[in-house]
Amino acid sequence: MGSTSNNNVQALLKWLGDSDGFYLNPNVEVYEDRVTGRGIRLKNGTLHKNDTVVSVPSSHQLNFITVLHWIRKFTDNETVDPDIEAKQEVKTGSKDPRYRAYRLLKQDTIQEMNSFQLLCLFIIAEWLLLPRWSNNMVFSWWKPFFDIFPSDEEMSAIPTKWALLHPEGLRGSFLKYLPTASMRHTERLSELLKNDWVILKPILQQWKEEFVEVETPSLEELWSQFVYIYFVINSRCLYMEIPMKTDIKDHFTMVPFVDYLNHTNEVDVHCFPRVNNMKKHEYGIGEFSIHTGNHEYSIKFEELLLNYGAHSNDFLLNEYGFTTLKNRWDYIDLTPEISTLFDDSRDIDFLNEIGYWGDFTISEGDISYRILVALSLLCCKDRRKTEKFALGYISEELFEPKTSLIIKKILTNVKQKYLKILDDLKTIEAEDWCRWNLINLYESYKSIIESNL
């Protein structure tokens, strides 16, 4: 591990260790790999089932509630909060500019924000703007957590970043290679970020006008930083119920050190999270901990892993910026290829009515039932038969071999298309990580197609 990275980890551990509730298993350590990045591994001894790996109190977690409480420390008092003075790195004679910045925020505006919006705004303020506002005289209490965030470059393989920040550059040129599932995911995330920026941009502009005496980043630069921070949050948030919020998308927390755990495709094998609501901080949020699962760690330097969910490589690429080898959750979205076979709008309306239009997917050795139902209508043009098939009253054999021939033709054509894309990608010499992820995606797609031919 590089000296800077190691120093940041030590600073983080000291910061966490200042709390009463932090625990780190003495048998584990953070390590850094040139290819896979940082992770947690077994340093010595053995970890058995249900052993605690790490436990972090809510006072050191970032979520809607903790951020809201932190901002209120600067808005509810006319005088300096002694708790703030005790926790901040504030140099003698300096005045904390957050009293000016946060008092410009209207409480109803903050309350109406979603978790992503509020956390993005808070991290931009505390990490990026506070040193500028204070001429490097004041630094956030959260700085040790911020300093172990991945770099912007480490997040470079996320397609939404290509679309929003580099559409005309080399990374933007990779967009044309995205398969259907990834492109739709990228488009959805792009809209989410644009909508969130509409909420945050006026506040950032107001702060620029408030602190005209210091040089701060332009709105264009802040937009770029916002996209980066959004994906730092998105790739490191963990599920936790958040009081005051009813939308499940707002129910997450960021937990330092826990975010070093890397993903595994195996479910219910390795580590798992637990929230202990019996150990609540004044914020009303429980302690977050990681425990070992059925897998026993006994080999020195073996990496500890956490399953992020049953996610395909398309999902992993778009949400986290990586893919995995031989991902059993992979599938291919053939909706465009199958949709073009239908030229009668009445057939499309009918399939919509019975809930079988679109979302036409295949996975390893499996053609989805949605495809079989749609193709049954294409083959027989009998809506009553198709409806009975959809309800399970008649067998797919009734529509053979016509459906199989159509599927074979589609898969053969798609395979040729993917082989051409693979050839194109392999000739690109730059941007190895971005390119490798796409190659891995299409190699998996090729395997899925071959298993169904």
pLDDT number for residue 445? 98
**Is 139 strand, coil or helix?**
strand
Say how far apart CA 238 and CA 253 lie, in whole Å. Answer: 5
pLDDT number for residue 4? 66
Which residues have CB under 8 Å from 91's CB, separation 6+? Answer: 137, 138
The backbone torsions φ and ψ at residue 40, rounded to the nearest 5 degrees and listed phi first, read: -120, 135
pLDDT number for residue 206? 97
Provide block-wise average pLDDT over 10 residues at a time, the chain (453 residues): 75 91 94 82 96 94 94 71 46 74 92 96 98 95 95 93 87 89 97 98 97 95 98 93 87 92 92 82 80 96 93 96 94 96 95 96 96 94 93 91 95 97 88 87 97 94
pLDDT number for residue 86? 45
Nearest to 134 by CA among 181, 171, 98, 80: 98
Nearest to 144 by CA among 313, 8, 326: 8
Domain limits, the chain? 1-60+255-320, 62-253, 331-452
Strands 303-306 and 262-263 turn out to be parallel
pLDDT number for residue 2? 56
| pTM listed for this prediction | 0.90
pLDDT number for residue 160? 97
The backbone torsions φ and ψ at residue 104, rounded to the nearest 5 degrees and listed phi first, read: -80, -15
pLDDT number for residue 79? 44
Say how far apart CA 72 and CA 108 lie, in whole Å. Answer: 13
Exposure b/e, 315-337, CB count within 10 A at least 16 = b: bbbbbbbbbbeebebbbbbbbeb
Say how far apart CA 273 and CA 304 lie, in whole Å. Answer: 13
Burial class from Cβ neighbours inside 10 Å (0-12, 13-18, 19+) for residue 8 reads: buried
pLDDT number for residue 84? 46
**Superfamily the domain 1-60+255-320 falls into:** SET domain (2.170.270.10)
